[in-house]
Structure 1
Amino acid sequence: MSIQNTNTRTTVLILMVVAAIAMRIVNTQVPALSNFTPVGAVAIFGGAYFTDKWKAYLVPLLLLLISDVAVNYMYAGKFTFYSSSLYMYGCFMLMTFVGTFIKKVTVLNVAAASIVAVLIHWLVMDLPFVYGIANTWANYGTLLVKAIYPFETNMLIADAIYGAILFGGFELAKSKYTALQGKKQLAL
């Protein structure tokens, strides 16, 4: 793949991620859409498509940070970094890692990655010590149950919808524009 094709592919991937992350800011304006954000799908998408793995991690995390700043300014008028933020960013790095295992984009592979991503978020973000609560199994169980609806349910639905848009859109674009195809596809 030529340098120009690589740059075109990377630019398109970044623009798709930017557009998806922008929806996170829109979704914060509707309380019913709590956790209905594209960040899980974006992390999986980045892991699956960026050929340079450092970009797969950096682009989604950087855009997540930028959207955090925007969301915080909209609600609090300032940027606030919470102790739980490190765990959240860690979750999205793990979700990106899950995306790296997608070697062939199919509905089943993307759906499985989305379910794993939501499970990662659910199991990590509801650990009691993340929020300074006593670290007991009872507290963990309570937090897990409370998070199922609306938070994790919305995240699963959002990952499915945004994943379909991102993966489906890029696969469609790849079929029309050879500059977007990866090395393996061009060699066939």
Structure 2
Amino acid sequence: MKKQDIILLSVILVALVLIRVVFQIPNFNPLGAIALMGGMLFSSKVLRWVVPIGALLLGDILLGFSNPLNMEYLFTTDFFFVYASFAAIILIGTFFYKNASLTKVIGGSLLAAVAFFLISNAGSWLTMPEYTKDFAGLMTSYELGLPFFRATLVSQIVFSLGIYVVYQLSTKKSIALA
């Protein structure tokens, strides 16, 4: 990957972090897409991890300055499970590295949204006293998370496709369908 491509992709991702901070719609944000596409598009193994996790951390810190409750989140166990889900999403993206296409971006987005849902809600089940620590409690955490899943899924697909198309057009590469 050329230096100018790395800069372009990094600028796109930072712009999306700012979108997350400015437009705070629950579970509708570009962060999952940043993780997926970072894993899918960065050729550098270091940048695949540093840029998406850095973007997530930057967004959390900026949100923390706007609301003290958001800053406290950085020191909770929920923080661990959210970041673990983003690590899983980066891994999903790396699976499609060198083979990015519209179809694979959509498929990766579906997998990413499901991974986030499963990991983050399992984390809520493990750490929140409201849930019984049995299979029924786990299923309750997933059931209560379902209303948020739609926004996660839609934002994952929309932002991932947006990053892919803008990046491909900006680097004068063709947009592969399959």
TM-score by length of 1: 0.83
What runs of 5+ residues in structure 2 fail to find an aligned partner?
Answer: 174-178
Deviation track 1:101-123 (CA, whole Å, cap 9, x = no partner) reads 11322221111111111111111
CA distance in 1, matches of 2:149, 2:15: 22
Residue 23 of structure 2 corresponds to residue 27 of structure 1: yes
Question: Over aligned residues, Cα RMSD in angstroms?
Answer: 1.6
Give the counterpart letter for 2:15 in structure 1: A
Deviation track 1:133-153 (CA, whole Å, cap 9, x = no partner) reads 43211111111111111x211
**Structure 1 segments of 4 or more deviating over 3 A?**
none
Residue in structure 1 matched with residue 164 of structure 2 by the alignment: 167
Residue in structure 2 matched with residue 86 of structure 1 by the alignment: 80
Percent of aligned positions that are identical: 22
Residue in structure 2 matched with residue 40 of structure 1 by the alignment: 32
CA distance in 1, matches of 2:47, 2:93: 13
Residue in structure 1 matched with residue 139 of structure 2 by the alignment: 141
- Within the candidate set 112, 117, 125, 1:122 is matched to 117
TM-score by length of 2: 0.87
The Cα of 1:100 is off from its aligned counterpart by 0.8
Residue in structure 2 matched with residue 72 of structure 1 by the alignment: 64
CA distance in 2, matches of 1:90, 1:122: 12
The Cα of 1:75 is off from its aligned counterpart by 2.0
C-alpha contact (below 8 Å) 1:87/1:130 kept by paired residues: no
Give the counterpart letter for 1:108 in structure 2: T
Residue in structure 2 matched with residue 152 of structure 1 by the alignment: 149
Give the counterpart letter for 1:122 in structure 2: F
C-alpha contact (below 8 Å) 1:41/1:159 kept by paired residues: yes
Residue in structure 1 matched with residue 90 of structure 2 by the alignment: 96
Give the counterpart letter for 1:70 in structure 2: L
C-alpha contact (below 8 Å) 2:109/2:153 kept by paired residues: yes
The Cα of 1:164 is off from its aligned counterpart by 1.5
CA 1:115–1:60: 2 relative to 1, 3 Å: same
> Which of the two has higher C-alpha Rg?
1
